[in-house]
Structure 1
Amino acid sequence: MRKTVRQAARATAQLAAVAALTFGSYLFITVLLFTAVATLVVVGAGLLPETVLLVRRIAGAKRRRVAQWTGREIPEAYLPVTGPLRARLRTVTHDPGSYADLRWMAAHYAYGILLFLPLLALWPLGLVLDGLWCGLLRRRALVLPLIGRLADLDAAWSTALLKPSPKALLVERVEELTETRAGAIAAHGAELRRIERDLHDGTQARLVSLSMRIGLAKRAYDRDPAAARRLLDDAQDQAEEALTELRHVVRGIHPPILTDRGLAGAVRALAASSGLHVTVSAEGLSDSGNGPRAPAAVEAAAYFVVAETLTNAAKHSGSDRAEVRLARTATALRVRVRDEGRGGADAAGGTGLVGLRRRVAALDGTVAVTSPAGGPTVIEAELPCVW
């Protein structure tokens, strides 16, 4: 009996919150109607985005309340309300998630009190009848559990009304893909600018110098063969340096070793040349490139995650040790890089993390950065793929 009373009390608190929210919705709907009328006459158009954001917060509070009762989260899908007033108005009037919130609020306006009113009868009736039923007839309570059923009913209705519709999920997905596409284009543009800079400042300058030395050697060949030979020796050195820089540029585009030896072998070679003491572990990946491999774009993104992170560790961490873990799962490739440095890595601080996030997001992947002050810094990336 005591357990039943406690459960009924918890359900009562849930339904009391429903009633309180219903009373609040009565006031809020008045504000909403005022906003709608004001919007029609343009004077109150600026109120509409703020009103919709307030509806989202109320719906969010209801989602959390239902999650506490049922133990199951209700996802949400909204378009971000940002930018100038015209853009904000366009967003709130085309957002399926906001319309779902309004439908829930209108329904809650009708059924909220209807679920709460039976409590006034069920509590005294349940305490009397269930007490007699349990004390005299030695049977379990029957009336008080009905309060929990009412709370279950409210949770079921709210879940059905507040969960995102397929259209809302599609709109959110399109918005996400638009953002990642823009990030991918920005990352691609930055990469092209880097390649152009490397070619212009390095390789092109060396090739110009090489051409000049060959020209001087040709003019000096008949009158001073020894000087011409020295100039040709210098030209050969210049050519070798230009070739080295070209290889560096090519590795920056797509490392040949990644094609030849696969991700695990390429990362081990990268770790060996990083200047740090790096331990590499690869679960489910071959060092020789044999066996199942992720798509080339996924391997390239994972390689550059490791390369960028080790470069940052060498420059900024203050530590000479790092650890790289590669893991193949049924549906993804996971990359984890850890260093024991000073920490404090910030995506907005120019450490290359913005470009790294964009590269991974372009493949529908995710990046998580943990870098408290004092370290360690851990960067984890997950790239979905089919093996």
Structure 2
Amino acid sequence: MRETLERADRASTQLLMGAGLALLSCVFVGVLLFTVAASVLVVGLGVLPETVLALRRLAGGKRRQVALWSGVEIPEAYTPLTGTLTQRVRTALQDPGTWRDLRWLAVHLAYALVLLYVALPLWVVGALVDGVWCGLLRRRALVLPLIGRLAALDAACSRALLMPAPQALRAAELAERVEELTVTRADAVAAHGAELRRIERDLHDGAQARLVALSLRVGLAKRVYDTDPEAARRLLDDAQDQAEEALTELRHVVRGIHPPILTDRGLVGAVRALAAGSGLAVTVRDTGVEGGTRAPAAVEAAAYFVVAEALTNAVKHSGAERASVDLARTARGLRVVVRDEGRGGAHDGAGAGAAPGGGSGLTGMRRRVAALDGTMEVNSPAGGPTVVEVELPCVW
């Protein structure tokens, strides 16, 4: 009996929420009528897209309520209202989701209140009849379960009215994918521009400055060679040192573009070299990556820089002494998991293992991964550990 009462109580809550939404819909009908009148007069066309957005939010509230009761999500399939006012008005009127929501609104106004009015007397009758029936005859309740059926009927009707057609759902998924790719492309362009500026800065402040100093010393050595060979020899020695430092700077810039160690040793070997030089006790595990067909160069480079950034920031911010790197070949591509045993608390704007506010490591990693249509998940509770998991799609 207790279970029946709890389910009836939960069903009544759902019906009450549905009735409240229906009452809110009554108010919205007034807004809708005003919008229609204003749109007919043309001067109020600007209200139409906003009214449609409000209708979408109202229908979204019902979707969440149905999901709460049944555990089954009702997907949304709307065309984004973007562009000029004319484009937004045209989209709002042509979107099948608008007319689907209006159909639901009209039907919901009728059945939601009716179901609540039926449920209320069932509560009173059920509490009396089922209580006596179960107490005296020790049989299961008969009336109260009907309230649950009413809530299920409400959910089924809403699901039937709000469920988008398969074509609309595919179109919405495609539009969402296009929007996601647009954002990804913008991030990739921004990351590419930042990388070019970094390379330019490194060349200007490093190799270029040393080459200028080298040229000056060679010029001075030529001037004093006849009169002071010893001074010329010292200048040439300095010039040689400058040349070696310039070469070191150039190698550093090249490593930032595509590390030569990737070409020489492959991804697993390059990551092991990173681990050895990180200052942490790092375990590198390989599952099917080494020895087989190599991933594309861009994928290997992205994976290498993700590991490098994660380990570097773990050393700087996490206080960890140990870390692990897992490289695995998957059906979709390459999976990279970096885990450190530090203090945790990493988020976008902080590197792996960093405390909040510790930099922009994760943001840069996300952009690099997103540029290859990959995904990145970070799990870093306070107290650690921090786990950065990256999936990079590729064809092996």
The offset of 1:79, in angstroms, is 7.1
Label 1:83 to 1:3 Cα distance change in 2 as closer, same or farther (>3 A). Answer: same
TM-score, normalised to structure 1's length?
A: 0.78
**1:215 corresponding residue in structure 2:** 219
The offset of 1:285, in angstroms, is 5.2
Between 111-120 and 83-92, report the one with greater CA deviation. 83-92
Q: For 1:181 and 1:98, locate their aligned partners in 2 and report how far apart those are by CA, in whole Å.
A: 30
**1:150 corresponding residue in structure 2:** 150
Give per-residue Cα distances to partners, 1:235-259, cap 9 Å, x unaligned: 2222221221111111111112123
Q: For 1:96 and 1:199, locate their aligned partners in 2 and report how far apart those are by CA, in whole Å.
A: 56
SS of residue matched to 1:149: helix
**2:248 corresponding residue in structure 1:** 244
Label 1:300 to 1:216 Cα distance change in 2 as closer, same or farther (>3 A). Answer: same
SS of residue matched to 2:187: helix
Q: Is the 8 A contact 1:22 1:109 kept in 2?
A: yes
The offset of 1:85, in angstroms, is 7.7
* 1:339-378 → structure 2 map (5 Å cutoff): 340=342, 343=345, 347=349, 350-369=359-378, 376=384, 378=386
**1:296 corresponding residue in structure 2:** 297
Give per-residue Cα distances to partners, 1:196-242, cap 9 Å, x unaligned: 11112211222222233333444444444433333332222222212
Q: For 1:246 and 1:283, locate their aligned partners in 2 and report how far apart those are by CA, in whole Å.
A: 31
Q: Is the 8 A contact 2:307 2:325 kept in 1?
A: no
SS of residue matched to 2:323: strand
The offset of 1:306, in angstroms, is 2.5
The offset of 1:377, in angstroms, is 7.4
Q: Percent identity?
A: 63
Label 1:321 to 1:120 Cα distance change in 2 as closer, same or farther (>3 A). Answer: closer
* 1:212-361 → structure 2 map (5 Å cutoff): 212-274=216-278, 276-284=279-287, 289-291=290-292, 293-315=294-316, 317=317, 319=319, 321=321, 323-328=323-328, 329-331=330-332, 333-338=335-340, 340=342, 343=345, 347=349, 350-361=359-370
SS of residue matched to 1:73: coil
Label 1:101 to 1:368 Cα distance change in 2 as closer, same or farther (>3 A). Answer: farther
**1:65 corresponding residue in structure 2:** 65
Label 1:92 to 1:261 Cα distance change in 2 as closer, same or farther (>3 A). Answer: farther
TM-score, normalised to structure 2's length?
A: 0.77
Label 1:148 to 1:365 Cα distance change in 2 as closer, same or farther (>3 A). Answer: same
Q: CA RMSD in A?
A: 4.0
Q: For 2:373 and 2:256, locate their aligned partners in 1 and report how far apart those are by CA, in whole Å.
A: 22
Q: For 1:218 and 1:191, locate their aligned partners in 2 and report how far apart those are by CA, in whole Å.
A: 39
The offset of 1:189, in angstroms, is 0.7
SS of residue matched to 2:242: helix
**2:29 corresponding residue in structure 1:** 29
Q: For 1:41 and 1:50, locate their aligned partners in 2 and report how far apart those are by CA, in whole Å.
A: 17
Read off the aligned partner of 2:233 and give its amino acid letter. Answer: R
Q: For 1:256 and 1:209, locate their aligned partners in 2 and report how far apart those are by CA, in whole Å.
A: 27
Give per-residue Cα distances to partners, 1:38-93, cap 9 Å, x unaligned: 34546555544554444344333322221221123344466777999889778866
Q: For 2:75 and 2:372, locate their aligned partners in 1 and report how far apart those are by CA, in whole Å.
A: 23
Q: Does 1:105 align with 2:105?
A: yes
Q: Is the 8 A contact 1:294 1:385 kept in 2?
A: no
Read off the aligned partner of 2:105 and give its amino acid letter. Answer: M
Structure 1 regions of 5+ residues with no counterpart? none
**2:198 corresponding residue in structure 1:** 194
Read off the aligned partner of 1:244 and give its amino acid letter. Answer: T
SS of residue matched to 1:335: strand
Between 179-188 and 192-201, report the one with greater CA deviation. 192-201
Q: Is the 8 A contact 1:369 1:377 kept in 2?
A: no
Label 1:129 to 1:312 Cα distance change in 2 as closer, same or farther (>3 A). Answer: closer
Between 91-100 and 347-356, report the one with greater CA deviation. 91-100
Q: For 2:361 and 2:48, locate their aligned partners in 1 and report how far apart those are by CA, in whole Å.
A: 39
**2:393 corresponding residue in structure 1:** 385
Number of residue equivalences? 382
Label 1:30 to 1:243 Cα distance change in 2 as closer, same or farther (>3 A). Answer: same
SS of residue matched to 2:373: coil
Q: For 1:281 and 1:96, locate their aligned partners in 2 and report how far apart those are by CA, in whole Å.
A: 52
